[in-house]
């Protein structure tokens, strides 16, 4: 038996997961889970990085106690994209990392796009324009806290900061580098001009490393604190959590599929061999992110279960505490397709009174107003499904052919009603699973780094043999087509 440890950090929580490999299959064992709660202070939104690190260390200790240090072959880290920390010459953080939803990023995005045209930025990076991107975050830092950028020796993305503490190596894995809007996917290096445009030095960029390589053993103090053996390897995986998740899509050799990584964000896209930097791709605001094994993930970020999470938070603050399972049950009781919203409307991008904002959107657009939590939730489920159809339609324009099947991976796939709604909206089959795709893809790439797997196809074959999937066929075609026409009037063309 071999054990691989996946450190999987999400925008809502972090986990350490053990992948136990036996008989050509692997099973997942969640070792611990810890909250990742942003900290609002001094007019900004920050991550509690030290709390995350404590959860990681605790998970490693528990893993050693449960499985024994001698069975643990390697450790791999993935996390959400775009957010970064600034470190000094000794590898210490000089400031708390800011949250990608920090309000100052919107103005920074406008200012950068005035200095450099969107066309030029897209040609150099192939990335979707979102105010959360590292490019705009760093431009905001240059404007509001210039001394931090001046004093920093280097910037590192969140998973790379964890790897630094584990190994002492300050490197940036390529899949996450591609989320920054500083990375050129054609030349496969940092974009010098964009750094210069925001007044940052290219000397502060970390060296790039591929997924599936070894960073080296854990540091001595980490081995002592956790009980890990001193030769336990830390390896690079698809450190952008979506890259790990897409690696675990259980596709069987057929490239004619799309995927939806469903969580706080919904990321809908296809897997390609080369980036698409066409004017149509830019017009529709698609992004070219790097995948494992030198693939490209052409996709679009859509607001996902974040909308439900924010509604749940607001209701809880008002005394109504419901689990996500209860919320899903409530949504099923409400009339379908009564009201629709654009999940990517600007108002939904920051923390606020989400239920009221949904009501406001419906009122302003002349629709039936959702009056109960169940109606609000049903509005969100239907709207998320419609947005998937809208994005898929434009994705097919960009790639020039029809997608035959959609794979839903990630925790959002547990919501059967949402999966059925998506099948209805896109009018084609939906295959759901694995739910723990990010962890599965992380562990798969650890096995690549350790020489146990040789290719993406071999890894996906192991995924198929290790996890069950569900299939949803489209229903009520005429009703959903009519509702889609209404939805298209609510969103930008």
Distances (CA, A) of 416 to 17, 21, 331: 24, 29, 11
Residues in the chain, how many? Answer: 493
Tokens 């040609």, residue located: 123
Structure tokens at 392: 């898929």
Structure tokens given for 345: 């409307």
Are the C-beta atoms of 216 and 167 separated by less than 8 Å? yes
The residue among 380, 316, 374 whose CA lies nearest residue 342 is 380
Query: CA 55: distance to chain centroid?
Result: 20
DSSP secondary structure letter of residue 211: T
Asked if 273 and 296 touch (Cβ cutoff 8 Å), the reply is: yes
Two structure tokens written together for 16: 């350490």
Q: How far apart are CA 334 and CA 331, in angstroms?
A: 6
CA nearest neighbour of 260 among 128, 418, 378: 418
Q: Determine which one of 241, 342, 344, 382 is catalytic.
A: 241
In the three-class reduction of DSSP (H, G, I as helix; E, B as strand; rest coil), residue 229 is classed as coil
The token duo for 380 is 């969100």
Helix (H) or strand (E) holding 12: none
Give dist(CA 228, CA 215) in Å, integer.
16
Residue 241 annotated in active site:
yes
Q: Measured between alpha carbons, how far is 166 from 160 in angstroms, rounded to an integer?
A: 10
Closest CA to 62 of 37, 21, 29: 29
Pairing between β-strand 171-173 and β-strand 207-209 as defined by DSSP bridges: parallel
Catalytic residue ranges: 241
């Amino acid at each position: 038996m071999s054990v691989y440890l996946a450190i999987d950090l999400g925008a809502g929580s972090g986990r350490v997961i053990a992948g136990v490999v036996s008989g050509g299959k692997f099973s997942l064992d969640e070792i611990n889970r810890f909250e990742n709660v942003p900290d609002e202070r001094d007019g900004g939104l920050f991550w509690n990085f030290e709390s995350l690190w404590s959860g990681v260390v605790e998970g490693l200790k528990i893993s050693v106690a449960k499985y024994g240090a001698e069975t643990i072959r390697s450790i791999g880290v993935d996390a959400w994209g775009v957010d970064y920390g600034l470190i000094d010459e000794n590898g210490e953080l000089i400031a708390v990392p800011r949250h990608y939803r920090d309000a100052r990023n919107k103005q920074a995005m406008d200012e950068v796009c005035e200095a450099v045209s969107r066309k030029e930025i897209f040609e150099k990076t192939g990335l979707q324009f979102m105010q959360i991107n590292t490019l705009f975050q760093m431009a905001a830092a240059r404007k509001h806290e210039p001394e931090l950028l001046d004093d920093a020796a280097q910037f590192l993305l969140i998973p790379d900061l964890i790897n630094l503490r584990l190994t002492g190596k300050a490197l940036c894995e390529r899949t996450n580098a591609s989320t920054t809007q500083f990375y050129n996917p054609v030349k496969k290096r940092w974009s010098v001009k964009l750094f210069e445009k925001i007044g940052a030095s290219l000397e502060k960029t970390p060296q790039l490393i591929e997924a599936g390589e070894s960073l080296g053993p854990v540091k001595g103090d980490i081995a002592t604190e956790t009980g890990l053996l001193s030769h336990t390897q830390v390896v690079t995986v698809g450190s952008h959590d979506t890259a790990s998740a897409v690696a675990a899509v259980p596709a069987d050799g057929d490239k004619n599929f799309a995927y939806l990584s469903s969580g706080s964000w919904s990321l809908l896209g296809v897997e390609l061999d080369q980036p698409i930097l066409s004017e149509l791709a830019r017009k529709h605001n698609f992004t070219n992110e790097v995948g494992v094994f030198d693939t490209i993930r052409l996709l679009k970020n859509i607001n996902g279960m974040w909308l439900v999470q924010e509604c749940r938070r607001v209701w809880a603050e008002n005394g109504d505490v419901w689990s996500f399972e209860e919320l899903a049950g409530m949504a099923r009781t409400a009339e379908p397709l009564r009201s629709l919203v654009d999940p990517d409307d600007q108002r939904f991008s920051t923390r606020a009174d989400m239920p009221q904002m949904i009501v406001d959107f419906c009122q302003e657009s002349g629709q039936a107003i959702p009056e109960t939590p169940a109606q609000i939730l049903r509005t969100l489920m239907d709207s998320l499904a419609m947005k998937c159809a809208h994005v898929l339609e434009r994705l097919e324009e960009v790639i020039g052919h029809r997608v035959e099947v959609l794979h839903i991976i990630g925790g959002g796939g547990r919501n059967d009603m949402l999966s059925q709604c998506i099948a209805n909206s896109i009018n084609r089959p939906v295959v759901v699973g694995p739910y723990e795709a990010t962890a599965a893809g992380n562990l798969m790439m650890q096995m690549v780094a350790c020489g146990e797997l040789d290719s993406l196809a071999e890894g996906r074959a192991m995924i198929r043999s290790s996890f069950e999937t569900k299939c949803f066929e489209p229903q009520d075609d005429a009703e959903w087509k009519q509702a889609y026409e209404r939805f298209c009037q609510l969103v930008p063309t």
